Each structure stands twice: as C-alpha cells, then as structure tokens.
Amino acid sequence: LQTNQWQFWNTQPVPKMDDPFPENSGPIDVIKKPEDVQKEPYNLPAGFEWCNLNLKNKDDLDQLYTLLVENYVEDDDNMFRFDYSREFLRWALSPPGQYEDWLAGVRVTKTKKLVGFISGIPVHMVLQKKDNIKMTEINFLCVNKKLRSKRLAPVLIKEITRRVNIKNMWQAVYTAGVLIPKPISIAQYFHRSLNPKKLIEINFSSLGKNQTMARVQKLYKLPEETTIQGLRPFTKKDAAAVTPLLNKYLEQFDLYHSFSVEDVKHYFTPVENVIYSYVVESQDKQITDFFSFYCLPSTIINHPKHNQLRAAYSYYHFSTATPLKDLIYNALILAKKYDFDVFNALNLMENTQFLDELLFSPGDGNLHYYLYNWRLSEQFKPSQLGMVLV
C-alpha cells in the first residue's frame, strides 16, 4: 500500500491512475470563478522570489536560455540535454494573446539568479470534436539542478494554475517524458538518420552487426533537391489560405488546437534555426499541401569531438493533393540540406503512414499527453492526437 506516492498529484484535479472512464467528458474540479482565486502568489522558501520574464528584454532571455541549457530535459541515459535557442524561446513563448504573468520565474533574492521557471500560453482547444475550451499550454517547467527534490515544482505548478485561473481559464494541456497521473495518451517518438556517421560517432545510433558505415550512408542518402512540383517556403501572405485548410485537416483528431490566422502567421512564418514551413502551390496558385518542422538541438553531454546534436522535429502539416509520405520525404531532403543530423517525429496524427517507408527507427522513450481538470470519457490512441508541443 503506497501511501506516499503522488503526494502532490493526488491533491490535483487529475484522474487517479485506476479511475474508471465516465459516460461523458467534463471538468474534475467544482466550477469556480476568478474572484474565488487567491490574489497573492504562493509562498516560496525564504531567499527566493517570483518574477515575470519579459523575453523582449535581453537579460531575461539570456537568463532563461542559461537556466534551460544547463538544467532542462535530458534523455534517460543523460547523454543529451535540450538546447532551446534564445530565438526559439521567443518564438515559442510569445504567441498572439500571451499574458505577461504567464512566464513565471523564481529568482534567488540576493543574487537575482534565475533558478526556476514555468510557462503558459493560451490555446483554443477542441476535444472529441465537440468541446471547445480556451485553456493554457504548460511547458518549460525547470528547477536548477542544485535545488531538486525540495518540492519546488508543486509550488511552480500551483502558482501558474493560480495565474491561469485568474484569467477565468480552468484547464491545461501539457506533455512530459515522465509518467504522472494521468496520461490521456502515450505517444512514441521516432528518428530518421540524416547524418548517420555523426549519429554513430556520438552513440545516438549504432552500426548493425553486418553493416558497414558505407552501407548505412548509402541507405540514408537523400537527393540534393526537393522532388515536389510547386513546393516553396510559406510566407505570411499564405496565412489566410493555410489557416482554414490546416484547421480542416485537424478536425479529424480528438485533441487539437484550433489556429487563428494570427496564430498561423506567428507559428509558421519561417525563422532560421527555429521554424521551417513549406506549401505546395498548384499551377493555378492554389495551396494544396503544407508541412513544417522546428529546430531543437541537444547538447551532447561530455563528448570529446561533438558538442551539439542538430535535430529537426516534425511539426504541423496537411495534405489535400500530395501524399503525406512525399511531403515528409521532401522535409527530410530540406532538413539534410540545412545540415540537420536527425529528423524526429511522433506516432500521432497520421504519422504512422510514413514512419516505416521513410526509414524512421523507434526512439527509446515515450511522450505522455496530459489534460488538467478535464476527465475524458475514453483513452486516446496516439492517432487521435492532433497537437504537437515543442
């Protein structure tokens, strides 16, 4: 009888691991109003203080970058750690409608050093093709390595919850590599080698017993140029045409973020080393297809020759004329052209259509999807998920 397990999460409006599914989906907590929410921030241990980060401020951006590059997510073997760039963080955390107190930092009062962080961004979610909910997407929860296991994470989570509730929002969506109560779905990640020599040198991949380096390089070789007629980079001018087509594509899934035109302009306008987006334009100038991938390198921890793994991650796409596998094949060609070492994808949306044929291999972990204060009437298969979190 584990009494001490989930000591924090058992106090939160999330399903218990063994809860049954209800007939209908709905909120877990009693319905509350913003005036019921405590006005003061949650107490921090002595010597620490809250701060709101403003990523237009270079010092704040530098401090967030440094906290994450040194203390954020590592793989299970502690060989790699995410290295979100400053430009990427500004892109990911300044979408339309952002609230300035939803970038919550914890500083050491004496030195002003940033030692903790959690972020929220506003999203318009559509669940099970019927429930439209304005909620928050939580990400970048991080506590400095020296301050771990002091129950600081629950304080950060309760504080961002308070700040979201005050805006009259009561649900959240988030993902994590760790298992906590209670995943709505568990996605798997897959990798497609672009630079097999480097991946083998850094022990990301290994040579099969009867495989030579030459053979592996030949297997993963890609053309120099793209193969789709009418393929070109997305520009802001395409947002009006792309938005309805993207939302239409996402309607088939049971969990997705419904994009406004302003969202599409923000999230998909190409930014070098951050976001790459392409459209397929027919002869009569109609946009028929779209794909995008984002740039998220990882630090290679303690390697003599290489210090960074350049990874591209499949983001959003839709296809109305070109088969999805041809779109993603061209994404691979472009990622290789932009000197990425590996192209990553999850088995959500319709991605299983291309993983095998395009030579993706399964990764060594899972990405759990979560909802806060919303009990679903069913467990989702990854193919029911239509949302990618960075």
Ligand X SMILES: CCCCCCCCCCCCCC(=O)CSCCNC(=O)CCNC(=O)[C@H](O)C(C)(C)COP(=O)(O)OP(=O)(O)OC[C@H]1O[C@@H](n2cnc3c(N)ncnc32)[C@H](O)[C@@H]1OP(=O)(O)O
Among ligand X, ligand NZE, none, residue 148 binds (CB under 5-8 Å by kind): ligand X
Residue 85 near residue 297, CB atoms below 8 Å: yes
Instruction: Tell me which of 149, 210, 283, 302 binds ligand X, using CB under 6 A.
Output: 149
The 358-377 site mask, x for binding ligand X (CB under 6 A), equals: --------------xx----
Residue closer to ligand NZE, measured from CB, 175 or 205: 175
Distance CA 280, CA 261 (A): 19
Q: Which does 189 bind (CB under 5 to 8 A by kind): ligand NZE, ligand X, none?
A: ligand NZE
Question: Per the structure block, which two tokens stand in for 301?
Answer: 């921890």
> Which of 136, 185, 322, 351: binder of ligand X (CB under 6 A)?
136
Tell whether residue 308 is a contact of ligand NZE (CB under 6 A).
no
Q: Which of residues 7 and 52 has its CB atom nearest to ligand X in the complex?
A: 7
Nearer to ligand NZE, 153 or 389 (CB): 389
Site residues (CB under 6 A) for ligand X, limited to 45-74:
71-73
Nearer Cβ to ligand NZE (139/195): 139
Cα 92 to Cα 96: distance, rounded to the nearest angstrom? 11
322 binds ligand X, rule: CB under 6 A:
no
Site for ligand NZE in 40-79 (CB under 6 A): 73-75
Q: Does 363 bind ligand NZE (CB under 6 A)?
A: yes
Residue 4 C-beta: closest distance to ligand X, Å: 8
Q: In this chain, which of 164, 239, 250, 300 binds ligand X, going by CB under 6 A?
A: 164
CB of 309 to ligand X, least distance (A): 17
**Site of tokens 């928050």:** 136
Is there binding between residue 359 and ligand NZE (CB under 6 A)? no
The reply on whether position 342 binds ligand X by CB under 6 A is: no
At closest approach, how far in Å is the CB of 61 from ligand NZE? 19
- CB atoms near residue 79 (< 10 Å): 17
Measured CA to CA, the distance from residue 213 to residue 208 in angstroms comes to: 10
Nearest by Cα to 121 from 85, 151, 95, 142: 95
311: nearest Cα among 266, 270, 363, 356: 363
99 binds, among ligand NZE, ligand X, none (CB under 5 to 8 A by kind): none
- CB distance 22 to 375 below 8 Å: yes
- 84 binding ligand X? (CB under 6 A): no
Binding site partner of 298, from ligand NZE, ligand X, none, Cβ cut-off 5-8 A by kind:
ligand NZE
Query: Between residues 121 and 172, which has the closer beta carbon with respect to ligand X?
Result: 172
Cα–Cα–Cα angle for 6, 9, 11, rounded to 5 degrees: 110
C-alpha span between 72 and 145 (Å, rounded): 9
DSSP bridge partners of 132: 126
Q: Angle of helix 86-93 relative to helix 58-71, nearest 10 degrees?
A: 110
Q: Does 141 bind ligand X (CB under 6 A)?
A: yes
Instruction: Choose, by CB under 6 A, the member of 9, 50, 220, 338 that binds ligand X.
Output: 9
> Distance between CA atoms of 355 and 366, rounded to whole angstroms?
16
Choose between 243 and 384: whose C-beta lies nearer to ligand NZE.
384
Q: CB–CB of 263/246 below 8 Å?
A: no
Nearest distance, CB of residue 309 and ligand NZE, angstroms: 8
Annotate 102-148 with DSSP letters as a single string: GEEEEEETTT--EEEEEEEEEEEEEETTTEEEEEEEEEEEEE-GGGT
3-state secondary structure (DSSP) of residue 47: coil
Closest CA to 173 of 143, 142, 134: 134
Residues that bind ligand X (CB under 6 A): 6-9, 71-73, 136, 138-143, 148-154, 157, 160-161, 164-165, 169-172, 174, 176, 178, 180, 372-373
